[in-house]
Amino acid sequence: MGVSGNLDQTGSPGGLNPEFVCWLFNAAEWINRESTALTVYRLARQKGMSQDDALREAEDLTYRSHNDYSRENTPRILQGLDITCLLEENQSLR
């Protein structure tokens, strides 16, 4: 029996709700970004940077290490697809 034989009412294999899966992805991404930003900020402050410089450093390194998934940076081939669950967490982080 393949995956198609195990589809539930939502059309998802194993009974996973697609909205719940999106929420899990967004939560994990948010935690990753927050912990990166906080770690970089703390390290910058320990090095003697001012608060403003440490905040800029944290923002810059978090942005560079976790990429930008906004619609403007989505590859053209994916722009027509409904992948909003992968993109929406970044809208709230900016």
The pLDDT of residue 56 is 96
**Domain segments of the chain as ranges:** 16-93
| pLDDT confidence of residue 38 | 97
> Rounded CA gap, 67 and 73, in Å?
9
pTM score above 0.75:
no
* CB of 19 closer than 8 Å to CB of 86: no
Give me the pLDDT at residue 1, please. Answer: 42
Tens digits of pLDDT across the chain (94 residues): 444 445 455 555 566 777 888 888 889 989 999 999 999 999 999 999 999 999 999 999 998 998 776 767 666 666 665 555 655 555 544 4
Q: What does residue 15 show for φ and ψ, rounded to 5 degrees? A: 75, 15
